[in-house]
Chains A and B, each alone.
Chain A
Amino acid sequence: MEPLTIGILIGIATIVILATGIPVAFGLGLVAIAFLAIFEGTGSLGFVAETFYSGLAEFTLVSIPMFIVMGAAVASSPAGKDLYEALDRWLNRVPGGLVISNLGACSIFAALSGSSPATCAAIGKMGIPEMRQRGFPDGLATGSIAAGGTLGILIPPSITMIVYGIATETSIGRLFLAGLLPGLLLTVLFMIWALYTAHRHGYSLTDMARQVTWGERLRILPRVLPFLAIIVGILYVLYGGVATPSEAAGVGAMFCLVLVAVIYRMWKPRHMWNIISDSMRESVMILMIIGASALFSYTLSYLFVTQSVAEAIAVLEVNRWVLMGIINVFLLVAGFFLPPVAVILMTTPILLPIITQAGFDPYWFAVILTINMEIGLITPPVGLNLYVINGIVPDVKLTTILMGALPFMLCMVLAIVILCLFPGIATWLPEVLMGPG
């Protein structure tokens, strides 16, 4: 059978198997071993455990559980609340300060936790009731947090970017830098839209500000600045070439654990244990998908699927922007159903050669891909953020949240267009700080 036909069969089989509701990790593994056994005989299964194991036994992967611990430590503490408070107090004079501080808090918390649902939960718990109380429409209050939460996978440090770096063998430091300005761009786009909507609904943005004294402003800083220092420290260490992402993440995790123990007095073994065991569950889930994906891409390349697809597309000689458009639609649809990590691991072995052949920058593409995944987080059927917010304010209908999130989704599409027109937004910073790639 032609490798291309096998590729199509694998694609169909993957969709069918995953639709049964089997865990993504085991579904991918099952498809991989089934196709190996059918086309190469059961003898080829001897490498299954070795491929799975060696797919996981990489030092770079160590950064994933470490960043998860870091995020879990911050998320389990009232740090999100304080961050929100701090921005609210400092930005109360800015027109529309509340929306701005909510979105700002989302982007900072996103950087700390690297997780979109955690960001939504932490900032949303405080921010949404506050916004509703001060008269913002439900759709805007919930939609802005749902969208703001998705920044978690774009703004560094980002687990999604680490996974991309591992799957494509690109520099994780560069990827983080590439995501920074686009992350800020998205934050600003979100803010503009939020302000515009609030204004359109006739909310006088300055009247809503409350009086805050400088004492109140300064008093909250000691609880917030150490966490900001950790983010800055991690980025500095990575770009200074001082340490590897895994080392930076490990030390960051330790610092965050110590900080929540000291600042929030969560030093009891029970607190620490909860943080570690929550992190364990999430990292086991992600790393199992990574191991299974190693098996999946091993099968794809063993059966020459990866190479054939890339060749077949090269032969088509379509316009590179048409190609990019098709890839975007494909990623968007995949993101509707699958978690970002799974999409990246399944598609990048096939997509990356196509992308680089067409002359696109792999770091720029990482940003485009991540924004696509962000959209998937706030669209049904598996838009995780929507459900997190639904859990925070059960009296707001899911459709209201969805409609509120829709304009922010369009902001993300706009950001993709802007990035296509000005790829420098993603590639400039890494080039300036780390030299040409």
Chain B
Amino acid sequence: MNRFIDAVAALSRLCGVIAAALIASAIVVVCQMVVMRYFLVASTVWQTEYVIFALVGATLIGSPYVLLLKGHVNVDLLPMFLPHGARVVLALFACLGGLAFSLVLGWTGYELFHEALVNGWRTETVWALPLWIPYLALPIGVGLLVLQYVADIIALLTGRDMPFAMEKHSAFEGE
């Protein structure tokens, strides 16, 4: 079980690196586009689409990594006041809810990617990028999100992780 959790964590970290690289590339491309458009007065073909797709891709692919770091903002008021046992139960509910959403998003995302691939959809610009490429971020990112949630649930059940990453007896801050 530990091996599974570690493997998923490693994959999520890899996704984090890819997502950060996509954002870095988007900054460079935006600047290149600005130079082309305003200083060289040339028309730009692929830059706008690339930047959009890179950032949506970064978001989807970066999502499991951010989940691994517990970096998705949440409202942790109720868990803060609960005793440890109830916290675990609540954390499980939260994880199952997140898992359910990820499953639906991941599955419909895979279908979207598959349709784009089979039907040869392309973007309606001069660049005419095959749409399955940007859509690939859906099955990859959300698929790994599902795995990360499963790993989180196992870690919770086996007591490897504290619920909501809170200390066992953490008092409400300020007390």
Q: Hey, which bits of chain A sit against chain B, CB under 8 A?
A: 17-27, 29-30, 33, 45-50, 52-53, 56-59, 61-62, 65-66, 69, 242-243, 246-247, 249-251, 253-254, 257, 273, 276-277, 279-281, 283-285, 287-289, 291, 337-339, 342, 381-382, 387, 390, 397-399, 402
Contact = CB atoms under 8 A, between A and B. Distances in A.
Contact of A69 (B27, B52, B63, B173): B27
B153 interface: no
A288 B59 contact: yes
Contacts, number: 189
Given A30-B101, A251-B30, A49 B59 contact: no
B143 to A, nearest CB: 12
Given A53-B135, A58-B52, 15 more contacts: A18-B74, A22-B98, A24-B72, A26-B72, A26-B98, A33-B101, A45-B104, A48-B105, A49-B109, A65-B55, A254-B28, A280-B16, A284-B59, A285-B71, A387-B173
B42 to A, nearest CB: 15
B76 A21 contact: yes
Contacts of B41: none
A284 B173 contact: no
Which of B16, B23, B138 gathers most chain A CB within 10 Å? B23
A88 to B, nearest CB: 30
B59 A243 contact: no
Where chain A touches its partner, the secondary structure class is: helix
Nearest to B172: A381
A22 B97 contact: yes
Interface of B: 16, 19-20, 23-24, 26-28, 30-31, 33-34, 38, 48, 51-53, 55-56, 58-59, 62-63, 65-67, 69, 71-80, 90-91, 93-95, 97-98, 100-102, 104-105, 108-109, 111-112, 134-135, 138, 164, 173-174
A280 B23 contact: yes
Nearest to A273: B20
Contacts of A339: 73
Contacts of A30: 97-98, 100-101
Rank and list the top 3 A-B pairs by shortest CB-CB distance, nearest first: A250-B30, A398-B174, A23-B72
A399 B174 contact: yes
Nearest to A20: B94
A378 to B, nearest CB: 14
Contacts of B134: 57
Chain B residues touching A, majority SS: helix
A281 B71 contact: yes
Given A29-B105, A49-B138, A56 B59 contact: yes
Nearest to B108: A49
Nearest to B29: A250
B58 A284 contact: yes
A352 B3 CA distance: 50
Which one of B59, B62, B94, B108 has the highest number of Cβ atoms from chain A below 10 Å of its Cβ? Answer: B59
8 contacts: A242-B38, A250-B33, A280-B23, A284-B59, A284-B71, A288-B72, A339-B73, A402-B174
Nearest to B92: A20
A56 B56 contact: yes
Contacts of A250: 26-27, 30-31, 33-34, 51
A22 B74 CA distance: 6
B57 to A, nearest CB: 10
